[in-house]
Protein backbone atom coordinates (compact mmCIF):
# COMPACT_ATOMS: atom_id res chain seq x y z
CA UNK A 1 0.00 0.00 0.00
CA UNK A 2 1.42 3.38 -0.95
CA UNK A 3 0.83 6.32 1.31
CA UNK A 4 -1.73 9.03 0.57
CA UNK A 5 -0.74 12.61 1.28
CA UNK A 6 -2.73 15.82 0.96
CA UNK A 7 -1.35 19.20 -0.16
CA UNK A 8 -3.20 22.50 -0.30
CA UNK A 9 -2.93 25.97 -1.82
CA UNK A 10 -5.10 29.01 -1.00
CA UNK A 11 -7.14 31.30 -3.25
CA UNK A 12 -6.62 35.07 -3.08
CA UNK A 13 -8.30 38.41 -3.33
CA UNK A 14 -6.53 41.31 -4.98
CA UNK A 15 -6.73 44.22 -2.55
CA UNK A 16 -4.80 46.84 -4.51
CA UNK A 17 -3.26 46.83 -7.97
CA UNK A 18 -5.93 45.20 -10.12
CA UNK A 19 -4.78 44.91 -13.76
CA UNK A 20 -1.23 45.97 -12.86
CA UNK A 21 0.72 42.70 -12.70
CA UNK A 22 0.90 41.95 -16.43
CA UNK A 23 2.05 45.57 -16.94
CA UNK A 24 4.99 44.94 -14.58
CA UNK A 25 3.59 47.31 -11.93
CA UNK A 26 2.94 46.57 -8.24
CA UNK A 27 0.11 44.54 -6.68
CA UNK A 28 -1.10 43.80 -3.15
CA UNK A 29 -2.89 40.43 -3.04
CA UNK A 30 -4.09 38.65 0.10
CA UNK A 31 -4.27 34.86 0.30
CA UNK A 32 -7.54 33.70 1.86
CA UNK A 33 -8.68 30.69 3.84
CA UNK A 34 -10.47 29.06 0.89
CA UNK A 35 -8.29 26.27 -0.42
CA UNK A 36 -7.78 23.73 -3.14
CA UNK A 37 -6.61 20.38 -1.81
CA UNK A 38 -4.96 17.59 -3.77
CA UNK A 39 -4.52 14.16 -2.25
CA UNK A 40 -1.88 12.18 -4.09
CA UNK A 41 -0.76 8.60 -3.97
CA UNK A 42 1.89 6.94 -6.14
CA UNK A 43 0.45 4.23 -8.36
CA UNK A 44 2.48 1.53 -10.05
CA UNK A 45 1.77 2.77 -13.56
CA UNK A 46 3.13 5.50 -15.84
CA UNK A 47 -0.22 7.28 -15.69
CA UNK A 48 -1.74 10.23 -13.91
CA UNK A 49 -5.29 9.40 -12.82
CA UNK A 50 -7.23 12.41 -11.61
CA UNK A 51 -10.59 12.68 -9.92
CA UNK A 52 -12.16 16.10 -9.40
CA UNK A 53 -14.82 16.06 -6.70
CA UNK A 54 -16.40 19.41 -7.66
CA UNK A 55 -16.47 18.64 -11.39
CA UNK A 56 -17.62 15.06 -10.75
CA UNK A 57 -15.22 13.92 -13.49
CA UNK A 58 -12.19 11.66 -13.95
CA UNK A 59 -9.33 11.90 -16.40
CA UNK A 60 -6.24 9.76 -17.03
CA UNK A 61 -3.21 10.27 -19.21
CA UNK A 62 0.20 8.72 -19.82
CA UNK A 63 3.25 10.58 -18.59
CA UNK A 64 5.54 11.22 -21.54
CA UNK A 65 8.12 13.87 -22.34
CA UNK A 66 6.06 15.12 -25.27
CA UNK A 67 2.88 15.50 -23.24
CA UNK A 68 0.40 18.00 -24.71
CA UNK A 69 -2.82 19.67 -23.60
CA UNK A 70 -6.12 17.80 -23.97
CA UNK A 71 -8.24 21.00 -24.12
CA UNK A 72 -10.25 20.04 -21.06
CA UNK A 73 -10.52 21.03 -17.38
CA UNK A 74 -7.61 18.77 -16.45
CA UNK A 75 -5.09 20.73 -18.51
CA UNK A 76 -3.84 22.41 -15.30
CA UNK A 77 -2.51 19.04 -14.20
CA UNK A 78 -0.88 18.41 -17.57
CA UNK A 79 0.58 21.94 -17.81
CA UNK A 80 2.59 21.56 -14.58
CA UNK A 81 4.17 18.34 -15.82
CA UNK A 82 4.86 19.94 -19.21
CA UNK A 83 6.79 22.78 -17.53
CA UNK A 84 8.79 20.37 -15.41
CA UNK A 85 9.78 18.40 -18.51
CA UNK A 86 10.54 21.55 -20.52
CA UNK A 87 12.73 22.98 -17.79
CA UNK A 88 14.52 19.63 -17.37
CA UNK A 89 13.43 19.42 -13.74
CA UNK A 90 12.08 15.89 -14.18
CA UNK A 91 13.11 13.06 -16.50
CA UNK A 92 10.96 10.08 -15.73
CA UNK A 93 8.45 9.89 -12.95
CA UNK A 94 6.11 7.28 -11.58
CA UNK A 95 2.36 7.61 -11.92
CA UNK A 96 0.07 9.19 -9.33
CA UNK A 97 -3.58 9.01 -8.39
CA UNK A 98 -4.95 12.47 -7.60
CA UNK A 99 -8.11 13.49 -5.81
CA UNK A 100 -8.89 17.21 -6.07
CA UNK A 101 -11.36 19.12 -3.88
CA UNK A 102 -11.76 22.88 -3.87
CA UNK A 103 -13.50 25.46 -1.71
CA UNK A 104 -12.63 28.14 -4.27
CA UNK A 105 -15.45 28.67 -6.78
CA UNK A 106 -14.13 28.34 -10.37
CA UNK A 107 -14.00 31.41 -12.64
CA UNK A 108 -14.86 33.74 -9.77
CA UNK A 109 -11.81 36.02 -9.52
CA UNK A 110 -10.48 34.17 -6.48
CA UNK A 111 -7.63 32.47 -8.31
CA UNK A 112 -8.93 28.91 -8.43
CA UNK A 113 -6.65 28.09 -11.36
CA UNK A 114 -3.41 29.22 -9.70
CA UNK A 115 -4.42 27.29 -6.55
CA UNK A 116 -4.73 24.02 -8.52
CA UNK A 117 -1.39 24.57 -10.27
CA UNK A 118 0.39 25.53 -7.05
CA UNK A 119 -1.14 22.71 -4.95
CA UNK A 120 -0.16 20.14 -7.60
CA UNK A 121 3.41 21.42 -7.96
CA UNK A 122 3.74 21.58 -4.16
CA UNK A 123 2.70 17.92 -4.10
CA UNK A 124 5.18 16.92 -6.82
CA UNK A 125 7.92 18.96 -5.17
CA UNK A 126 7.54 16.96 -1.98
CA UNK A 127 6.82 13.55 -3.50
CA UNK A 128 9.73 13.73 -5.98
CA UNK A 129 12.05 15.71 -3.68
CA UNK A 130 12.55 18.42 -6.32
CA UNK A 131 13.79 20.95 -3.70
CA UNK A 132 11.98 23.92 -5.26
CA UNK A 133 11.35 26.87 -2.97
CA UNK A 134 8.05 28.76 -2.86
CA UNK A 135 9.05 31.46 -5.33
CA UNK A 136 10.38 28.85 -7.76
CA UNK A 137 7.05 27.04 -7.47
CA UNK A 138 5.23 30.33 -8.21
CA UNK A 139 7.48 31.07 -11.20
CA UNK A 140 6.95 27.60 -12.72
CA UNK A 141 3.19 27.79 -12.18
CA UNK A 142 3.17 31.18 -13.89
CA UNK A 143 4.90 29.62 -16.93
CA UNK A 144 2.30 26.83 -16.88
CA UNK A 145 -0.64 29.25 -16.82
CA UNK A 146 0.73 31.97 -19.06
CA UNK A 147 2.92 30.20 -21.61
CA UNK A 148 1.40 26.72 -21.72
CA UNK A 149 -2.27 27.35 -21.00
CA UNK A 150 -2.11 30.69 -22.85
CA UNK A 151 -3.82 32.87 -20.22
CA UNK A 152 -2.73 36.52 -20.43
CA UNK A 153 -2.29 36.72 -16.64
CA UNK A 154 0.50 38.28 -14.58
CA UNK A 155 2.35 36.67 -11.67
CA UNK A 156 0.11 37.84 -8.80
CA UNK A 157 -2.02 34.71 -8.37
CA UNK A 158 0.76 32.15 -8.38
CA UNK A 159 2.85 34.17 -5.89
CA UNK A 160 -0.10 34.77 -3.60
CA UNK A 161 -1.14 31.12 -3.58
CA UNK A 162 2.39 29.81 -3.06
CA UNK A 163 3.59 32.33 -0.46
CA UNK A 164 0.35 33.14 1.39
CA UNK A 165 -0.22 36.23 3.58
CA UNK A 166 -0.50 39.85 2.42
CA UNK A 167 2.41 41.42 0.59
CA UNK A 168 3.28 43.93 -2.05
CA UNK A 169 4.82 42.41 -5.15
CA UNK A 170 6.65 44.54 -7.67
CA UNK A 171 6.06 42.62 -10.89
CA UNK A 172 9.00 44.19 -12.73
CA UNK A 173 11.29 41.19 -12.55
CA UNK A 174 12.50 38.54 -12.06
CA UNK A 175 13.67 38.85 -9.40
CA UNK A 176 10.49 40.36 -7.98
CA UNK A 177 10.59 42.62 -4.94
CA UNK A 178 8.28 41.42 -2.17
CA UNK A 179 7.35 43.19 1.06
CA UNK A 180 5.35 41.11 3.55
CA UNK A 181 2.78 42.82 5.78
CA UNK A 182 1.85 41.51 9.20
CA UNK A 183 -1.67 42.93 9.52
CA UNK A 184 -4.44 40.34 9.82
CA UNK A 185 -6.78 42.76 8.06
CA UNK A 186 -9.84 41.50 9.91
CA UNK A 187 -13.22 42.19 8.37
CA UNK A 188 -12.87 40.86 4.83
CA UNK A 189 -16.14 39.75 3.24
CA UNK A 190 -16.35 38.25 -0.25
CA UNK A 191 -19.52 38.69 -2.28
CA UNK A 192 -19.87 36.24 -5.14
CA UNK A 193 -22.10 37.49 -7.96
CA UNK A 194 -22.23 33.84 -9.14
CA UNK A 195 -21.67 35.17 -12.67
CA UNK A 196 -18.91 33.07 -14.18
CA UNK A 197 -16.61 34.30 -16.91
CA UNK A 198 -13.26 33.53 -18.47
CA UNK A 199 -10.58 35.91 -17.16
CA UNK A 200 -8.73 35.79 -20.45
CA UNK A 201 -11.20 38.01 -22.28
CA UNK A 202 -10.80 41.24 -20.23
CA UNK A 203 -7.10 40.50 -19.74
CA UNK A 204 -6.34 40.19 -23.45
CA UNK A 205 -8.34 43.26 -24.45
CA UNK A 206 -6.99 45.55 -21.73
CA UNK A 207 -3.40 44.44 -22.14
CA UNK A 208 -3.43 45.20 -25.84
CA UNK A 209 -5.15 48.61 -25.47
CA UNK A 210 -2.81 49.72 -22.68
CA UNK A 211 0.38 48.54 -24.34
CA UNK A 212 -0.61 50.14 -27.66
CA UNK A 213 -1.41 53.40 -25.86
CA UNK A 214 1.87 53.51 -23.94
CA UNK A 215 3.88 52.68 -27.06
CA UNK A 216 2.35 55.72 -28.81
CA UNK A 217 3.19 57.94 -25.80
CA UNK A 218 6.75 56.60 -25.76
CA UNK A 219 7.19 57.87 -29.32
CA UNK A 220 6.72 61.39 -27.92
CA UNK A 221 9.44 61.13 -25.27
CA UNK A 222 11.12 58.98 -22.70
CA UNK A 223 8.04 57.87 -20.77
CA UNK A 224 7.41 54.70 -18.77
CA UNK A 225 4.16 53.39 -17.33
CA UNK A 226 5.86 53.06 -13.92
CA UNK A 227 6.44 56.80 -13.66
CA UNK A 228 4.10 58.48 -16.16
CA UNK A 229 2.11 61.23 -14.43
CA UNK A 230 -1.57 61.72 -15.24
CA UNK A 231 -0.83 65.35 -16.22
CA UNK A 232 1.73 64.20 -18.76
CA UNK A 233 -0.74 61.68 -20.10
CA UNK A 234 -3.28 64.46 -20.60
CA UNK A 235 -0.69 66.51 -22.56
CA UNK A 236 -0.39 63.64 -25.05
CA UNK A 237 -4.09 62.92 -25.27
CA UNK A 238 -4.23 63.79 -28.98
CA UNK A 239 -1.70 61.10 -29.85
CA UNK A 240 -3.84 58.24 -28.54
CA UNK A 241 -7.46 57.15 -28.95
CA UNK A 242 -10.06 58.11 -26.35
CA UNK A 243 -10.29 54.48 -25.31
CA UNK A 244 -6.53 54.18 -24.82
CA UNK A 245 -6.53 57.42 -22.85
CA UNK A 246 -9.21 56.18 -20.45
CA UNK A 247 -7.51 52.81 -19.95
CA UNK A 248 -4.12 54.44 -19.33
CA UNK A 249 -5.57 56.96 -16.90
CA UNK A 250 -7.28 54.11 -15.03
CA UNK A 251 -4.06 52.12 -14.80
CA UNK A 252 -2.00 55.12 -13.64
CA UNK A 253 -4.57 56.05 -10.99
CA UNK A 254 -4.72 52.47 -9.68
CA UNK A 255 -0.89 52.46 -9.64
CA UNK A 256 -0.94 55.57 -7.43
CA UNK A 257 -3.67 54.18 -5.15
CA UNK A 258 -1.61 50.99 -4.72
CA UNK A 259 1.46 53.03 -3.69
CA UNK A 260 -0.61 54.82 -1.05
CA UNK A 261 -2.00 51.54 0.28
CA UNK A 262 1.54 50.16 0.64
CA UNK A 263 2.61 53.19 2.67
CA UNK A 264 -0.34 52.60 5.01
CA UNK A 265 0.09 48.83 5.25
CA UNK A 266 3.82 49.24 6.00
CA UNK A 267 3.11 51.26 9.17
CA UNK A 268 4.21 49.56 12.37
CA UNK A 269 1.46 51.20 14.40
CA UNK A 270 -2.17 50.35 13.76
CA UNK A 271 -3.32 50.97 10.20
CA UNK A 272 -6.12 53.35 9.35
CA UNK A 273 -8.82 50.95 8.12
CA UNK A 274 -11.10 53.75 7.02
CA UNK A 275 -8.39 55.05 4.75
CA UNK A 276 -7.57 51.57 3.43
CA UNK A 277 -11.28 51.06 2.75
CA UNK A 278 -11.58 54.37 0.90
CA UNK A 279 -8.65 53.34 -1.32
CA UNK A 280 -10.52 50.13 -2.24
CA UNK A 281 -13.59 52.07 -3.32
CA UNK A 282 -11.51 54.65 -5.26
CA UNK A 283 -9.94 51.77 -7.14
CA UNK A 284 -13.37 50.35 -7.93
CA UNK A 285 -14.37 53.67 -9.52
CA UNK A 286 -11.40 53.33 -11.86
CA UNK A 287 -12.17 49.68 -12.65
CA UNK A 288 -15.78 50.59 -13.42
CA UNK A 289 -15.51 53.95 -15.19
CA UNK A 290 -12.09 53.82 -16.85
CA UNK A 291 -11.05 50.19 -17.32
CA UNK A 292 -14.65 49.13 -17.92
CA UNK A 293 -14.38 45.74 -16.20
CA UNK A 294 -17.23 46.04 -13.69
CA UNK A 295 -20.81 44.95 -14.35
CA UNK A 296 -24.08 46.13 -12.72
CA UNK A 297 -24.31 42.98 -10.56
CA UNK A 298 -20.88 43.69 -9.03
CA UNK A 299 -21.67 47.41 -8.66
CA UNK A 300 -24.81 46.47 -6.79
CA UNK A 301 -23.02 44.12 -4.37
CA UNK A 302 -20.51 46.90 -3.69
CA UNK A 303 -23.31 49.39 -3.12
CA UNK A 304 -25.18 47.24 -0.61
CA UNK A 305 -21.93 46.38 1.20
CA UNK A 306 -21.06 50.06 1.65
CA UNK A 307 -24.60 50.82 2.82
CA UNK A 308 -24.37 47.97 5.35
CA UNK A 309 -21.24 49.51 6.88
CA UNK A 310 -18.26 48.34 4.80
CA UNK A 311 -15.38 50.84 4.80
CA UNK A 312 -14.67 50.10 1.16
CA UNK A 313 -15.20 47.53 -1.56
CA UNK A 314 -14.07 46.60 -5.06
CA UNK A 315 -14.32 43.78 -7.54
CA UNK A 316 -11.54 41.22 -7.33
CA UNK A 317 -9.76 39.54 -10.25
CA UNK A 318 -10.07 40.35 -13.92
CA UNK A 319 -13.71 41.50 -13.62
CA UNK A 320 -16.84 41.20 -15.82
CA UNK A 321 -18.20 38.70 -13.27
CA UNK A 322 -16.98 36.82 -10.23
CA UNK A 323 -16.61 38.38 -6.81
CA UNK A 324 -16.26 41.60 -4.87
CA UNK A 325 -14.21 42.06 -1.71
CA UNK A 326 -15.41 44.38 1.07
CA UNK A 327 -13.48 45.56 4.12
CA UNK A 328 -15.92 45.65 7.01
CA UNK A 329 -14.25 45.19 10.39
CA UNK A 330 -16.93 44.68 13.05
CA UNK A 331 -19.68 44.70 10.41
CA UNK A 332 -18.96 41.37 8.75
CA UNK A 333 -22.36 39.85 9.55
CA UNK A 334 -24.32 42.92 8.41
CA UNK A 335 -22.39 43.13 5.13
CA UNK A 336 -22.70 39.38 4.54
CA UNK A 337 -26.45 39.48 5.01
CA UNK A 338 -26.78 42.53 2.73
CA UNK A 339 -24.85 40.66 0.02
CA UNK A 340 -27.01 37.56 0.42
CA UNK A 341 -30.24 39.61 0.30
CA UNK A 342 -29.02 41.30 -2.90
CA UNK A 343 -28.73 37.92 -4.63
CA UNK A 344 -25.01 37.35 -4.05
CA UNK A 345 -23.31 34.70 -1.99
CA UNK A 346 -21.32 36.06 0.96
CA UNK A 347 -18.22 34.46 2.45
CA UNK A 348 -16.62 36.00 5.55
CA UNK A 349 -12.95 35.18 5.15
CA UNK A 350 -9.60 35.41 6.89
CA UNK A 351 -6.07 35.79 5.60
CA UNK A 352 -4.18 32.53 5.01
CA UNK A 353 -0.63 33.12 6.24
CA UNK A 354 0.73 29.66 5.33
CA UNK A 355 0.45 29.59 1.56
CA UNK A 356 0.81 26.26 -0.19
CA UNK A 357 1.66 23.39 2.12
CA UNK A 358 1.62 19.73 3.00
CA UNK A 359 -1.42 19.06 5.17
CA UNK A 360 -1.02 17.12 8.44
C1 LIG B 1 -6.52 37.72 -13.31
C2 LIG B 1 -5.06 37.36 -13.57
C3 LIG B 1 -4.13 38.15 -12.65
C4 LIG B 1 -4.42 39.65 -12.75
C5 LIG B 1 -5.92 39.91 -12.54
C6 LIG B 1 -6.28 41.35 -12.74
O7 LIG B 1 -6.93 37.29 -12.06
O8 LIG B 1 -4.85 35.98 -13.36
O9 LIG B 1 -2.78 37.87 -12.97
O10 LIG B 1 -3.99 40.15 -13.97
O11 LIG B 1 -6.71 39.13 -13.42
O12 LIG B 1 -5.73 42.13 -11.73
Give phi and psi for 297, each to the nearest 5.
-65, -40
Question: Quick check: 1 pLDDT over 60?
Answer: no
pTM of the model: 0.97
169 lines ligand 1 (CB under 6 A): no
* Overall average pLDDT of the 197-207 stretch: 88
What's the whole-number average pLDDT of the chain? 96
Predicted local distance difference test score (pLDDT) of residue 15: 98
154 lines ligand 1 (CB under 6 A): yes
- What's the gap in Å between 316 CA and the centre of ligand 1? 9
CB 279 within 8 A of CB 261: yes
Closest CA to 275 of 264, 259, 286: 264
12 lines ligand 1 (CB under 6 A): no
Q: Which atom of ligand 1 is nearest to the CA of 145?
A: 8
- What's the gap in Å between 324 CA and the centre of ligand 1? 14
Predicted local distance difference test score (pLDDT) of residue 270: 87
Predicted local distance difference test score (pLDDT) of residue 202: 87
- What is the per-residue pLDDT across 275-307, written as a single tens digit (0 to 9) for each? 999 999 999 999 999 999 999 999 999 999 999
Query: What is the pLDDT confidence band of residue 268, given thresholds at 50, 70 and 90?
Result: confident
Query: What is the pLDDT confidence band of residue 130, given thresholds at 50, 70 and 90?
Result: very high
Question: Quick check: 198 pLDDT over 90?
Answer: no
* Overall average pLDDT of the 111-122 stretch: 98
Q: Which atom of ligand 1 is nearest to the CA of 19?
A: 12
- What is the per-residue pLDDT across 256-267, written as a single tens digit (0 to 9) for each? 999 999 999 999
- What's the gap in Å between 153 CA and the centre of ligand 1? 5
Amino acid sequence: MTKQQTYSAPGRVCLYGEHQDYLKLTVVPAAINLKTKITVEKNNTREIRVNSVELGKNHSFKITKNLSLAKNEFDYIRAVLMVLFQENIIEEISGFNLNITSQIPFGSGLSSSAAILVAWLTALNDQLNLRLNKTEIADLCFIAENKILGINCGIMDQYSSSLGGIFSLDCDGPPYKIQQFTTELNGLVIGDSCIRRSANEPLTLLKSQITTGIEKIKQQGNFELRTLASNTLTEFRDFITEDEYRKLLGVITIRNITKRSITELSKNEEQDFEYLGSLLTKQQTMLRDYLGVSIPELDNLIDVSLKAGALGAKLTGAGLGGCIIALAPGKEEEVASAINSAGGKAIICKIDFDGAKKED
